[in-house]
A and B are shown apart, each in its own frame.
Chain A
Amino acid sequence: MNRFATRSLPRRFCALALLMLPCLPVTAVEEMGFQLGGFGTLGLTYNDSDDFAFVRDSFQPDGIKNEVSTKTDSTLGIQARYRFTPHLDAVVQLLSRHDADGSFPPEVNWAYLKYTPTPDWDLRAGRLSWDVYMLSDSRYVGYSFLWVRPPIEYFGVQQLSHIDGFDVTWTRPLDSGLFWIKAYGGFADEELPIEDAQDYDLGGSYVVGAHANYQFGDWWLRLGFAREALDEAADDLQPLFERMATAGGETGAELADDMRLAGADVDHFVVGLLYSRGPLRLQFMFDHSDSDTLLFTDFYTGYATVSYRVGDWTPFLSFAAIESDRIDRESGFPSGSPDDAAIQAFLRDVRYDQHTTSLGVRRDITENVALKFQVDRLWAKSPAVTMMRDPAPDWDGRGTVVTATLDFVF
């Protein structure tokens, strides 16, 4: 395997395709022109429980229940890059996964122009990753991480995979380490599937954020902030809100107001810490989400993973948890009435209280293929609607998921 991930097309094609720019001679330092690469995961996921349907993240409309399936964790991505000059690139990346449509339609994951005028500055515009957490911009690239999937309590609640906008990165060597700041802004363009209801359209919501990083020796620390400003109302809920406002008295009207999505801000305060020394890796991440709407409830989430490579084998242990406060609010309707029950069910369904312990191993087979095996023990004390599908009312919240994946890049 001489080339990894990006493979030049034959020179003749280059000459045809790049009428403006001839391919550079071999003594040139950078390969110009067109390059193609990709990544993929073939996953077999087994959920042993009949009591809930397991999903990888909140974008998957349906999960798996007491079955083995390839849909949960399988992905395929293709990246085409065109390098105009050593300072200017265009990138398009297509991704196919089990998403909100319930199928594997290739979607445009990224499509941007990147300009790097100096080593310190990096500007991108177009469709970009939502870089809210460390590693969140590569969470579908199975070959790039250890787990069969990023911890669901942490990466699974993230609502966006990309934004249409810009980002700017400023990097400076500082002491013996490296310091960088990245700021970004743009609009969302995705739909969040909601069980038994119309998908929630995040399109039009704008997103801004920034993070500061310091990488020194074996450590990488990040502090970040991000805001999603929700634009759309949840149409299905409008009749209920109106009833609350009219028949539910002041209490009902107030609660309806607190549950509204349009105009609400969802803020994330993020910390990430990675340590890597020889075969040992430690990861720790934390996020506090502070929101204006009860339907995207405030939460705390974090995970820690430790791994140690032995030859081609890398066993790891991971723990992830998400929690939010119980929402104790009166609906304004008589207790026990159908409206009251519906509203209380909503407030219960958006509450997070779940953790997962995972034990797994990655085996690197060749320089670009890895096999992974992982067992997850999860305990959802309060099954949240975005973390899983179709939980049984009498479920004790415990489940086991066993997964094997083949991950590759080309």
Chain B
Amino acid sequence: MAVSLRPLLLLLVAVALSAVSAARAEIAVVVNPESGVTEMTRDQVVNIYMGRYQGLPSGITAFPVDLVPLRQDFYSRLVDRTLAEINSYWARLIFSGRATPPRRLDDATAVLEVVSNNRGAIGYLPSGAVDDSRVTVVLELVDD
């Protein structure tokens, strides 16, 4: 009995997983509530995350952080590039001394912690993980 149920179970799990990935949540770009910024354009976020311009629209220095589990999804939505392309791009900026890559954080809690504690910090989170009392959403990236 157990033997015949196993394929069915696997199928159910597979269907459930594909449903989850099909309905991927939005990604929210967040800043510190004290940053003086309430919204940003995609170009402004691209400039910061691609190491071109380290400033928030309010004029203060921006310190971007990456959320490692969401990196692939974030850069694919933001600039339509793979992680290998992003790394190759950063290799140029790092080894020519032009810019420093975003600091990498492993989980959403750490992103919330860093962004809510630093005026110039900017990060991204799954929309569901945003805590409105601690960070301000300035842009939402929808899967296209």
Among the 9-residue stretches A53-61, A113-121, A284-292, A393-401, the one with 4 or more Cβ atoms under 8 Å from chain B is: A113-121
Q: Which of B68, B83, B110 has the most CB of A within 10 A?
A: B83
Compute how far the CA of A28 lies from the CA of B118 in the bound complex, rounded to whole angstroms.
Answer: 7
CB-defined contacts of B61 to chain A, threshold 8 Å: 86-87, 116, 118-119
B95 in complex: contacting residue of A89, A118, A124, A141, CB < 8 Å = A141
Contact A370 B91 (CB under 8 A): no
A30 in complex: contacting residue of B81, B87, B103, CB < 8 Å = B103
CB-defined contacts of B120 to chain A, threshold 8 Å: 29
CB-defined contacts of A93 to chain B, threshold 8 Å: 95, 97
Contact B53 A171 (CB under 8 A): yes
Contact A119 B62 (CB under 8 A): yes
B12 CB-CB contact with A under 8 Å: no
B88 in complex: contacting residue of A26, A91, A278, A370, CB < 8 Å = A370
CB-defined contacts of A217 to chain B, threshold 8 Å: 43
Q: How far is the CB of A11 from chain B (nearest CB, A)?
A: 15
A window 5-40: CB within 8 A of B? 5-6, 26-31, 37, 39
A173 in complex: contacting residue of B47, B82, B113, B121, CB < 8 Å = B47
Known A-B contacts A29-B103, A138-B96, A141-B95; the reply to A277 vs B82 at CB < 8 A is no
CB-defined contacts of B131 to chain A, threshold 8 Å: none
CB-defined contacts of B83 to chain A, threshold 8 Å: 367
Q: Which residue of B lies closest to A117 (CB)?
A: B61
Q: Which residue of B lies closest to A114 (CB)?
A: B97
Contact B52 A215 (CB under 8 A): yes
Contact B63 A77 (CB under 8 A): no
Known A-B contacts A27-B114, A30-B103, A39-B95; the reply to A5 vs B65 at CB < 8 A is no
Contact B104 A138 (CB under 8 A): no
Q: How far is the CB of A396 from chain B (nearest CB, A)?
A: 37
Known A-B contacts A141-B92, A367-B84; the reply to A116 vs B118 at CB < 8 A is no
Known A-B contacts A26-B110, A129-B96; the reply to A144 vs B91 at CB < 8 A is yes
CB-defined contacts of B100 to chain A, threshold 8 Å: 6, 30, 83, 89
The contact size tier of chain B is 35 or more
CB-defined contacts of A337 to chain B, threshold 8 Å: none
Contact B95 A29 (CB under 8 A): no
Q: How far is the CB of A146 from chain B (nearest CB, A)?
A: 9
CB-defined contacts of B118 to chain A, threshold 8 Å: 27-29
B84 in complex: contacting residue of A128, A215, A370, CB < 8 Å = A370
Known A-B contacts A129-B97, A176-B43; the reply to A4 vs B82 at CB < 8 A is no
CB-defined contacts of B84 to chain A, threshold 8 Å: 312, 364, 366-367, 370
Contact B95 A138 (CB under 8 A): yes
Compute how far the CA of A29 lies from the CA of B97 in the bound complex, rounded to whole angstroms.
Answer: 20
A110 CB-CB contact with B under 8 Å: yes
Residues of A at the B interface (CB closer than 8 Å) are 2-6, 26-31, 37, 39, 77, 79, 83, 86-87, 89, 91, 93, 110, 112, 114, 116, 118-120, 124, 128-129, 131, 135, 137-138, 141, 143-145, 171, 173, 176-178, 215, 217, 277-279, 309, 312, 364, 366-368, 370, 409
Pick 23 A–B contacts, CB within 8 A, sort by A. Answer: A5-B94, A6-B94, A27-B114, A28-B114, A28-B118, A39-B95, A83-B100, A116-B54, A118-B59, A119-B53, A119-B62, A138-B92, A144-B91, A144-B95, A173-B53, A178-B47, A178-B53, A278-B81, A312-B82, A364-B82, A367-B83, A367-B87, A368-B87
Other 20 A-B pairs with CB < 8 A, given A2-B106, A87-B61, A145-B88: A4-B101, A5-B90, A5-B94, A26-B110, A26-B114, A27-B118, A28-B118, A29-B117, A29-B121, A37-B95, A77-B95, A118-B59, A128-B97, A138-B95, A143-B87, A144-B89, A144-B92, A171-B53, A173-B55, A367-B84
Residues of B at the A interface (CB closer than 8 Å) are 41, 43-44, 47, 52-55, 59-63, 65, 68, 80-85, 87-92, 94-98, 100-101, 103-104, 106, 110, 113-114, 117-118, 120-121
